[in-house]
Structure 1
Amino acid sequence: MMRSMYSGVSGLRIHQTRMDVIGNNIANVNTTGFKSGRVTFNEIFSQTLQGASGASESIGGRNPMQVGLGANISSIDTLMTEGAAQRTDNPLDMKIEGDGFFIVKDGGGFKFTRAGAFRLDEVGNLCNPEGLNVMGWRTDPTTGNIVKDKVNSIKILSPENMYSDPSMTKNATVSGNIQKNDPNLDSAKGVYRQVPIYDSLGYKYTVDLKICQTATANEFDIRIMANSLKDKDGNKIGSASNPIPATDANKTATFDVNTGKVVSSAADGSDTRLELTLGATTTGFSKFSTPIKIDFSNLTLFDGKTTVEAVGGDEDGLGAGAPAGKLSSFEIGTDGKILGKYSNSKTKILGQIAVANFQNPAGLQKVGNNLFQVTSNSGEFDGIGKEVTEDGGSLNGGVLEMSNVDLSREFTDMITTQRGFQANSRIITASDEMLQELVNLKR
């Protein structure tokens, strides 16, 4: 009887623990990135009243006779299944699609979380709501490439990220259509356009481009005029004694009579590029350190109007030059790279969010505030981390991961747990009544 009473007590205790876990799951049903728990039971051990015996010629074998001595908790597991997505449209909210954990750090070292509700602090660090720094990789200030070494705190609004350096124009493009019967294309007149260029300090200038018909049909002279460099206010930079550019730079654009497009006789298309030199070696004007290549291969000779225009950069927008720019916005890509956008239309990689993967994520230990820390059974963190796309995952911006609590399962488990607790309490009640009867035998 005492044995059965103690078995009932053990049953009450483990069902109470299971109810505690269920209650915690339900309480965190709306907690971002929460991972639910699960309790499993096993029997403690059994008292053997009689051992087993094998069969003989005269009698059959007998099974062991054992009485169990109650139940115990086998495990309280953390279920690491992925939670559903909750859209927030906050650009700093992120959800890991796939495996992995965000890496954060406080004075006690690295912690790990699936809750991607991040924000910026007063100095521009990317942090979680408790102020722990989100970790990742920084960029090489020389190359602008991500350096995947030991993770560091990501400071989006660092001084070097707030501004984009100016750049000198290296390429320009003259495009549009030439109407071959346009009277303004006569060699005595010509169509003029201004080519915008930037120097190494980000100051804007223009030079004059002239297009006119040559003596040969379907050929046009493309010319950068000498002494035509002006600042943004239209003031000339050169003079009669020191013209900038020093001389005209010109090339001939020959058009195919059937296609109306510029014909290139050079394999690399070099005969469709003007080279504008403004450097110190020829003009004394040192703000342009290399020649500017002006591509006119995109011109056409179609019917219609003459619509020639000149823009900085090649057809991919490269080498256009730009003034200094101020950070206007940023966005976080699916690979965790943080792309800064600047007022001068330039972009720059500001850093990359790294993630941590573990051989046994269920072996991580909860430490509160949606955080985990490593244990001897989870696997170690190498201090470097991984790119989220390395194992086929991605980051989903403007989205948070909801808890993985399944309410239908929790309520079902609650019912069976309550019934189990009730049944074990009946064991104690019945054992007590049996003991009462035993005591009453002496009366």
Structure 2
Amino acid sequence: MIESIYVGMTGLSSFSRGLRVIANNTTNLNTPGFKGSSLRFADAFYSNGSYSGRQFGQLGYGVSTTGTMMSFKPGELRQTGNGLDLAIDGQGLFTLRGEDGKITYTRAGQFQFNSDGILVNQGTGEKVMGVGADGKLTEISIANRRTNAGKPTTAIKFTGNLSSTGTDQTINNVRVIDSAGGEHTLSLKFTNTNTTTAGSWQVDLMDGTTVVGTKQLIFQNGKATAATEKLSFTYTPAGQAAQALTLDFSTDVTSFASGTLSTLAFASQDGFAPAGLSSAAFDATGTLVLTYANGQTEKGVRLSLGRFDTPEAVGALGSNQFEVLDGSAWHTGVAGTDFGSVRSGYIEISNVDLSQEFSDLVIMQRGYQASSQVISTANEMLQELFSMKSR
């Protein structure tokens, strides 16, 4: 009966550990990137039983636990709208490096740029690692990239039909960006010179009432000739350096008879003014994408990801982070082959299944009650034995 009490105690101890694991899972139900665990049970050792010299088989000594097993099944991806909240759709973990140089991993992609412009893990401050051009781990930084320098206009495109039977047309609102980022509005005046050269037009580039330059545009069979489809001008904005402008009529520009109605119009220009950074996010390949207020985008470093062959190679550290227990079972790379894709603006929430946890909780409770009842019964039997002896 003493052995029975011992066996019951192993049940109380093991089911208590199981309750602790369930409690940890349920309290982390809303923890981003959390991976639930389950307790592994095993029967304890055995001995051969005997009575009055007769063997009657093996008797067990209760239950033991052999540790916990983390479940790395993916959690639900929940949209946040923050471009620096990241989730991995598939295999992989984000790579972090602490101040001491230790590498850890996480599925909770809650990141931000610190005051130095370096991407770090929120709350704990570890740097988020990317893959440099040399294939080595590197910081992801926006230092010196918070402003886009801008670009002066070099090419202006037009679209539409310049009526071959018209006499003249003026296109206003031709936008030009100078080298300092200033915007200027020019106009383009077309004068039909078909009487001197078939299909020809005199083209005057105007800055207000000032003629910047004059060129000739010639059409054959309704299309601008190769020699005149791109006209070059030199424009000098007030107080700025001279800049070369190319007026491009090579695409989507025609000249057919349409009375006095012409639809030729300014289409686009390739310049843009300086502007500040408006947003930072990552694309599906894990590449940093910076978007500026002038509509321009730039790409940066690509995120470094890690993955493992077996859960036994992973150790939980807390703060939504994991460490490497067996380096031979770990692999590093980037989103794509053998790794999942990166989802910007999403967070992976806990993979804990609450209904399963409640079901396991009932099992643990019943197991604990049963073990307690075994101890109580064995104790009563002992007391009865002592009572018999005293009589």
Smaller-chain TM-score range? 0.7 to 0.9
8 Å contact from structure 1 (residues 111, 372) kept in 2: yes
CA RMSD of aligned residues (A): 3.4
Contact 1:137–1:149, Cα closer than 8 Å, also in 2: no
Q: Which residue number corresponds to residue 152 of structure 1? A: 138
Is residue 298 from structure 1 mapped to residue 277 from structure 2 by the alignment?
no
The aligned residue for residue 424 of structure 1 is: 371
In 2, the alpha carbon distance for the partners of 1:440 and 1:21 equals 42
Q: Secondary structure at the match of 2:87?
A: strand
Which consecutive unaligned segments of at least 5 residues does structure 2 have? Answer: none
Flag the 1:343–1:399 CA change in 2: closer, same or farther, 3 A.
Answer: closer
* Letter matched to residue 126 of structure 1: L
The superposition leaves residues 266-298 of structure 1 with CA deviations (integer Å, 9 ceiling, x where unpaired) of xxxx44632416499xxxx9754x773623432
Cα distance change on mapping 1:273 and 1:178 into 2, 3 Å: closer
Amino acid at match of 1:252: I
Counterparts of residues 330-341 of structure 1 (less than 5 Å) = 330-341=280-291
Alignment match, 1:72: 64
The alpha-carbon distance between structure 1 residues 8 and 172, as it changes in their structure 2 partners (threshold 3 A), is: same
Question: Any idea what SS the aligned residue of 1:161 has?
Answer: coil
Decide which structure has greater strand share. 2
Deviation at 1:80, TM superposition (A): 0.6
Partner of residue 164 from structure 2, selected from 176, 180, 184: 180
Measure, in 2, the Cα distance between the counterparts of 1:250 and 1:48: 110
What secondary structure does 1:12 align onto?
Answer: helix
Report deviation, 1:403: 0.9
| Offset, 1:24 | 0.8
Determine the C-alpha separation between the residues in 1 that align with 2:83 and 2:352.
26
Selected match of 2:150 from 161, 166, 182: 166
Structure 1 position 21 matched with structure 2 position 9: no
In structure 2, do the counterparts of structure 1 residues 434 and 64 end up closer, same or farther at CA, with 3 Å as the change threshold?
closer
Given the alignment, which residue of 214, 220, 223 partners 2:200?
A: 220
After TM superposition, the structure 1 = structure 2 runs for residues 196-207 of structure 1, keeping only pairs within 5 Å, are 196-198=175-177, 200=179, 202=181, 204=183
Unaligned runs of 5+ in 1: 51-62, 139-145, 239-243, 257-261, 265-269, 314-319
Aligned-partner Cα distance in 2 for 1:192–1:86: 50
Report SS of the residue matched to 2:373.
Answer: helix
| Cα 1:174–1:110 shift into 2, 3 Å | same
1:395 partnered with 2:387:
no
Secondary structure of the structure 2 residue equivalent to 1:436: helix
Match of 1:35 in 2: 35
How far, CA to CA, are the matches of 1:167 and 1:133 in structure 2? 36
Q: Which amino acid aligns with 1:309?
A: A
Give the % identical residues: 26
Equivalent pair of 1:105/1:132 in contact (CA under 8 Å): no
Q: Sort the Cα spacing of 1:16 and 1:342 in 2 relative to 1 into closer, same or farther, 3 A.
A: same
TM-score (norm 1): 0.74
> 1:418 offset after TM fit, Å?
0.9
Query: 1:274 maps to which residue?
Result: 230
2:220 alignment counterpart? 254
Relative to the length of structure 2, the TM-score reads: 0.83
Q: Which amino acid aligns with 1:406?
A: D
Structure 2 contact 76–351 (Cα < 8 Å) conserved:
yes
Seen in structure 2, the aligned counterparts of structure 1 residues 392 and 151 have a Cα distance that, compared at 3 Å, is: closer
Q: Does 1:211 align with 2:166?
A: no
